[in-house]
C-alpha cells in the first residue's frame, strides 16, 4: 500500500510520472474532457484545520476523475470517540484514499500505519507535500525545465519550506533558504535531505539579498501560520526585514517569478506591488493544486 506522507515517499522518477499524468489530465481538462479514470473510487477527507484550496482541489479533482468524496468533520469523532487505530482500520475498509490535514505530523503517520487505504498528507506541522509538488509543477510549466533552476525561500522555515527542500533536491533544483535567526528549517531535515540526495544544492542564509541572487523564483509564506496567532506580535518584529517587495524582486534574476502558497497577508510578508505584478504566478500556482493532486490520486490508485 503506497502513501504520500512526505516527499521522502516518492522517488525522482515517480515525481516525473505524477507530472506526466498531471499534464495529460490538465490538457484534457482545458479541452473540456474530464476522463473518468477512477469510477466508483471514494476519498475521505479528515481535516483538523481550516482549508479552501486543499479541500476544494481534492473534492473537485476526485469528481472530475469519476469518483466521490466525503468530508469528515468533528461529528465523525476522529481522535475523540475511539482510538485513531480503530477509526482508521474501519474507515479504510470503506474508502480507497484518506486525505489527512492535521495539526500534528504524527497523526498522519499513525493513520498511515493502520490504514489499508492510501493515505495522503493534506498538511501537517512538518510537511505539505501536495503544495510543494504543485509549486514545482508550476515552475516546470513556466520555465519548461526544473533542473538547475533556483528557488529562493524567504520567511519561516516551516512545513512548506521543508517539503520544497525535499522536492527541489529530487528534481535537481537549487534552493536557498533565508530565515530570520531562530526560525531556521530543522537541522535534521536538512541533514536528511542531503543524505537522501547527495547532490542537493541547499544554501542557508539570514540575508534575503544573498538568497535571491540568481533566483528564478522567490517564494514566501505568512509570518504567523494557523496555530501561531499567539506569536504574531513577536513574529511581525522578527520578520520585518524579510518582506518580499519590489526592491527584493529586483535583486533576483530577470524574469523571476513570485510564489506564495496563500492565503497571504498583504503588506506583511509581501507587498501589493509584488503579489499583483505580472511576475506573480500565485493564481496558476493555486490552480495547479487540483491538477497535480489528480495526478497523485491516479498514480496512487492505479499503480501496481
In eight-state DSSP terms, residue 270 is B
Annotated ligand binding at 261? The verdict is yes
Annotated ligand binding at 174? The verdict is no
* Cα separation, 69 vs 285, whole angstroms: 23
Percent composition of the chain: helix, strand, coil (DSSP 3-state, to 5): 45, 15, 35
* Cα separation, 264 vs 258, whole angstroms: 12
Annotated ligand binding at 228? The verdict is no
Annotated ligand binding at 130? The verdict is yes
Annotated ligand binding at 158? The verdict is no
Strand, helix or coil for residue 43: strand
Q: Is 169 exposed, middle or buried (0-12, 13-18, 19+ CB in 10 A)?
A: buried
Annotated ligand binding at 118? The verdict is no
Annotated ligand binding at 245? The verdict is no
Annotated ligand binding at 178? The verdict is no
Catalytic residues: 101, 128, 131, 221, 261, 289
Annotated ligand binding at 225? The verdict is yes
* Cα separation, 192 vs 171, whole angstroms: 16
Annotated ligand binding at 260? The verdict is no
DSSP 104-153: -HHHHHHHHHH-SSEEEEEE-SS--HHHHHHHHHHHHHHHS--TT-EEEE
Q: Which residue ranges make up the annotated binding site?
A: 101, 128-131, 159, 221, 225-226, 261-262, 289
Q: Binding-site residues for L-ornithine, please?
A: 159, 221, 225-226
Residues contributing to the annotated binding site for carbamoyl phosphate = 101, 128-131, 261-262, 289
Amino acid at each position: 500500500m503506497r502513501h504520500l506522507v512526505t516527499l521522502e515517499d516518492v522517488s525522482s522518477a515517480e515525481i516525473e510520472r505524477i507530472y506526466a499524468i498531471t499534464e495529460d489530465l490538465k490538457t484534457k481538462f482545458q479541452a473540456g474532457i474530464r476522463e473518468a479514470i477512477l469510477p466508483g473510487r471514494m476519498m475521505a477527507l479528515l481535516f483538523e484545520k481550516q482549508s479552501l484550496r486543499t479541500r476544494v482541489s481534492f473534492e473537485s479533482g476526485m469528481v472530475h476523475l469519476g469518483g466521490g468524496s466525503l468530508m469528515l468533520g468533528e461529528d465523525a469523532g476522529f481522535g475523540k470517540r475511539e482510538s485513531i487505530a480503530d477509526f482508521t482500520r474501519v474507515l479504510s475498509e470503506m474508502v480507497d484514499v484518506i486525505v489527512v490535514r492535521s495539526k500534528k505530523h504524527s497523526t498522519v503517520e499513525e493513520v498511515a500505519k493502520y490504514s489499508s487505504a492510501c493515505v495522503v498528507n493534506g498538511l501537517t506541522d512538518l510537511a505539505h507535500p501536495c503544495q510543494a509538488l504543485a509549486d514545482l509543477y508550476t515552475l516546470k510549466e513556466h520555465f519548461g525545465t526544473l533542473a538547475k533552476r533556483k528557488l529562493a525561500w524567504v520567511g519561516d522555515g516551516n512545513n512548506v519550506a521543508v517539503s520544497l527542500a525535499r522536492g527541489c533536491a529530487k528534481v535537481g533544483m537549487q534552493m536557498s533558504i533565508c530565515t530570520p535567526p531562530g526560525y531556521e528549517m530543522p537541522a535534521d531535515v536538512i541533514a536528511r535531505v542531503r543524505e537522501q540526495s547527495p547532490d542537493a544544492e541547499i544554501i542557508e542564509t539570514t540575508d534575503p539579498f544573498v538568497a535571491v541572487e540568481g533566483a528564478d523564483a522567490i517564494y514566501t509564506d505568512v509570518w504567523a501560520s494557523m496555530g501561531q496567532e499567539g506569536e504574531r506580535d513577536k513574529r511581525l518584529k522578527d520578520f520585518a526585514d524579510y518582506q518580499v517587495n519590489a526592491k527584493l524582486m529586483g535583486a533576483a534574476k530577470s524574469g523571476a517569478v513570485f510564489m506564495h502558497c496563500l492565503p497571504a497577508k498583504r503588506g506583511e510578508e509581501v507587498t501589493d506591488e509584488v503579489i499583483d505584478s505580472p511576475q506573480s504566478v500565485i493564481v496558476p500556482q493555486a490552480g495547479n493544486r487540483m491538477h497535480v493532486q489528480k495526478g497523485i490520486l491516479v498514480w496512487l490508485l492505479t499503480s501496481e
